[in-house]
């Protein structure tokens, strides 16, 4: 009788151990799935829609007035989640697409006096950190490269809204204005007064969830 009770007790302990191990395995798998799901939800790529996005620049002329222009070809990706917000941004600009509404001036801007687009066809920005600064604003820090020169800059961006495309895809918009010195990137032609050093840029991005 004693041996029988011992065997029953040993069996009960074994069953309890197996049940506990099984429960831990299920809990671990569930946690892993939850973690993976959270990472996926927070890592959505929103591609820049070049048709509905704009980069405009402004620069002083003859210390008297401002001249404006834009770049017509841009692409890139925003890393964004409606719940978590903006977490990353990459922008590529085709500098050869500069447009000031004057073809002769645009051609001059493409030559080595200014952008030297044959040697440096692209300007790029790649974020290294994003800090939420308000309910709908972010300070985006990253590496900006122009004319082969890279500088760390911080751009204040506003999340301008969310919507749906005509095909039903999720949209997110961002806009910001900041100023650079062209001389920091080796563009020094006609400084200091014929053409100013400070260039104000406004970027307005419409992005589409992939």
pLDDT at 199: 98
* CATH architecture label of 44-209: Beta Barrel (2.40)
pLDDT at 180: 97
pLDDT at 42: 52
Contacts with 151 (C-beta within 8 Å, 6 or more apart), sequence order: 143, 144, 145, 184, 185
Residues in the chain: 210
Domain spans, the chain: 1-41, 44-209
Task: Compute the distance between CA of residue 73 and CA of residue 71 in angstroms, rounded to an integer.
Answer: 6
CA 186 distance to own-chain centroid: 25
- 97-112 core/surface letters (b: 16 or more CB in 10 A; e: else): bbebeeeeeeeebbee
Q: What are φ and ψ of residue 144, in 5° steps?
A: -105, 125
pLDDT at 194: 97
Question: Scanning the structure block, which residue is given the tokens 């029988």?
Answer: 4
Q: Provide the residue-wise pLDDT of the chain in tens; the chain has 210 residues.
A: 444 444 433 444 343 443 434 443 333 334 333 332 333 345 599 999 999 999 999 999 999 999 999 999 999 999 999 888 999 999 999 999 999 999 999 999 999 999 999 999 999 999 999 999 999 999 999 999 999 999 999 999 999 999 999 999 999 999 999 999 999 999 999 999 899 999 999 999 999 999
Q: Are 94 and 76 in contact (CB under 8 A)?
A: no
């Amino acid at each position: 009788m004693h041996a029988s009770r011992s065997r029953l007790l040993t069996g009960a302990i074994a069953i309890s151990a197996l049940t506990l191990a099984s429960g831990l395995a299920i809990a671990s798998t569930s946690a892993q799935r939850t973690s993976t799901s959270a990472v996926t939800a927070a890592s959505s790529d929103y591609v820049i829609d070049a048709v509905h996005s704009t980069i405009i620049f402004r620069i002083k002329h003859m210390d008297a007035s401002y001249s404006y222009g834009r770049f017509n070809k841009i692409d890139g990706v925003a890393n964004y989640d409606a719940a978590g917000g903006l977490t990353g941004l990459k922008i590529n600009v085709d500098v050869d697409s500069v447009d000031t509404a004057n073809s002769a001036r645009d051609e001059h801007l493409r030559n080595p006096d200014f952008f030297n687009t044959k040697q440096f066809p692209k300007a790029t920005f790649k974020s290294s950190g994003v800090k939420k600064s308000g309910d709908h604003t972010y300070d985006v820090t990253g590496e900006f490269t122009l004319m082969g020169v890279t500088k760390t800059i911080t751009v204040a961006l506003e999340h301008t809204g969310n919507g749906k495309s005509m095909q039903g895809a999720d949209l997110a918009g961002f806009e910001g204005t900041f100023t650079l010195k062209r001389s920091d990137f080796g563009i020094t032609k006609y400084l200091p007064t014929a053409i100013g050093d400070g260039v104000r840029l406004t970027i307005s991005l419409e992005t589409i969830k992939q």
